[in-house]
Chains A and B, each alone.
Chain A
Amino acid sequence: MTLKTWRELPIGCVVSEPGSASEYHTGSWRSQRPIWDNTKCIKCGICYVFCPEGCVQQGEDGFFMANMDYCKGCGICSHECWPRAIKMIEEG
């Protein structure tokens, strides 16, 4: 993405495209990522409920995964997962 110069900014930095925040991939801030161990996962969905980004999704098989475009690696899913199915690993 090419960054705009100060002259190219819209007056008052008004964002004219609704919903464009989804293009802002906050996942780039992440230093750790969650890894699900589906042998331990009981599909309770507590990770889905607790994710403050709303980036945890349930797949067709009923297991969960995080959308890495938005996952900031906060580790709340891993902390809340009581069957201990989610491990946080360092980003390479």
Chain B
Amino acid sequence: MGKRVGMEVAVAVAEAVGLCNIDMAAVYPITPQSHIAEHLSDLVADGKIDAEFVTVESEHSAMSAVIGASGTGARSYTATSSQGLMYMHELLPIASAMRLPITMAIANRAVSGPLNILNDHSDIMPQRDSGWISIFVENGQEAIDMSIIAFKIAEHKDVMLPVNINIDGFQLTHMVEPFEMPTQEEVNQFLPPFIPHATLHPARPVTMGAFAMSDYFTEIMKAKDEAIKNSKKVILKVWDEWGRLFGRNYKPVETYKTDDADILLLTMGSMGETAQMAIDELRVKGTKAGLVKLRLWRPFPFDELKAVVKNTKKLIVTDRAVSFGGPGGPVFSEIKSALYAETQRPLIYNYIYGLGGRDVTVKDFTGMFEKVLADTGNQAADTYEFWGVRE
């Protein structure tokens, strides 16, 4: 087993990536991701890992550099946050269309304006349809594990897609936590060498990212959609393998005390552990409450989610981003749509909370339960509300 260490999560993520035999990284620093950039560049500069650290002038260039490097067959890594991710946006669908298995950490942070450096999910939500596999982590250990696992998923011959790992900014990136850091030997055993589907090489010329007109564009989009849907099989297999090797098991939809629950709460990311404490409190008071944690955002785990919420009466979906003028938070609208055709489905309530780093406590979650349980006439079902907003 790996060594038990205490470390800041962002630094530990860089350490974990350093164990993955990367060939290159292009990481432009941005709060709260900066410690990943700094520590990874330290590892390269100190000669601890044999990789190229490309110092770029922007996130747009960082993503361009990893796309180019991945095209040559290099195991490539980047990390960003908020405005940096927005600046990368136009390149994200290109990386997935070219089926380049890049991995990227996102230290989730609110998108401007107004300028705000703290945590929510408004940076990743606009990237939803970029064709990337998207994973949300709950704690430091998971951030480390997923940073390693992501390479194996991305580079699997049946996947060949980029992966982003969402790590809540500050709430996770800047926490010092105790965790088990896998050893170099263990990672070597887990992670095979990267075998690209094609490479850019002068001796074996190919064209990547070529032009396509209306006669082919539809077929290309369909192929990409099938590719990401099919990736779920591999994701499950790789998570199982990780569980066998390291004893930490990951599932697309995680549950806590859901078996007999008639009211469920759904969270994504770091809020899961606080929400878990709220469930414990409610259980003591006799409320049959349970928690659902969505780990896999893309490909969306439809079957797993349906199975978990099937027998519950009310489901509280929490969102950390706003879809302005839309049907509710982005997670809420996806879940509503996922359950639309089900004959047996819960009433769904949506609270948008924790925006721009606003603290969320156990009391906030118990308050949500109380409010939903008090809605005996189901007046607030299928609507959304800004939790804790000053009226």
Binding site for B on A (CB under 8 A): 3-7, 9, 11-16, 18, 21
Q: List 23 A-B contacts (CB under 8 A).
A: A3-B216, A4-B216, A5-B219, A6-B220, A6-B222, A7-B223, A9-B219, A9-B223, A12-B97, A12-B197, A12-B198, A12-B208, A13-B97, A13-B212, A14-B98, A14-B207, A14-B208, A15-B210, A16-B206, A18-B205, A18-B206, A18-B207, A21-B210
How many Å lie between the Cα of A63 and that of B208 in the bound state?
A: 38
* Any A CB within 8 A of the CB of B160: yes
4 A-B pairs besides A4-B219, A15-B208 with CB distance below 8 A are: A7-B223, A13-B97, A15-B207, A21-B210
Q: Are A12 and B222 in contact (CB under 8 A)?
A: no
A6 with B223: in contact, given A12-B98, A12-B197, A14-B198 (CB under 8 Å)? yes
Query: How many whole Å from B270's CB to the nearest CB in chain A?
Result: 34
Query: Which residue of chain A lies nearest to B222 when distances are taken between CB atoms in the complex?
Result: A6
Query: How many whole Å from B262's CB to the nearest CB in chain A?
Result: 44
How many Å lie between the Cα of A21 and that of B207 in the bound state?
A: 10
B215-262 contacts to A, CB under 8 A, are 215-216, 218-220, 222-223, 226
Please give the number of chain B residues whose Cβ is less than 8 angstroms from any Cβ of chain A in the complex: 21
Query: How many whole Å from B161's CB to the nearest CB in chain A?
Result: 10
Q: Are B197 and A14 in contact (CB under 8 A)?
A: yes
Binding site for A on B (CB under 8 A): 97-100, 160, 197-198, 205-208, 210, 212, 215-216, 218-220, 222-223, 226
How many Å lie between the Cα of A6 and that of B207 in the bound state?
A: 19
Partner of A15, one of B99, B160, B206, B223: B206
Contacts of B98 in A (CB 8 A): 12-14
Query: How many whole Å from A48's CB to the nearest CB in chain B?
Result: 25
Q: Are A14 and B206 in contact (CB under 8 A)?
A: yes
Contacts of A14 in B (CB 8 A): 98, 197-198, 206-208
Contacts of B220 in A (CB 8 A): 6, 9, 13
Contacts of B226 in A (CB 8 A): 6
Q: Are A3 and B222 in contact (CB under 8 A)?
A: no
Contacts of A18 in B (CB 8 A): 205-207
Contacts of A3 in B (CB 8 A): 215-216, 219
Partner of B197, one of A5, A11, A21: A11
Contacts of B206 in A (CB 8 A): 14-16, 18
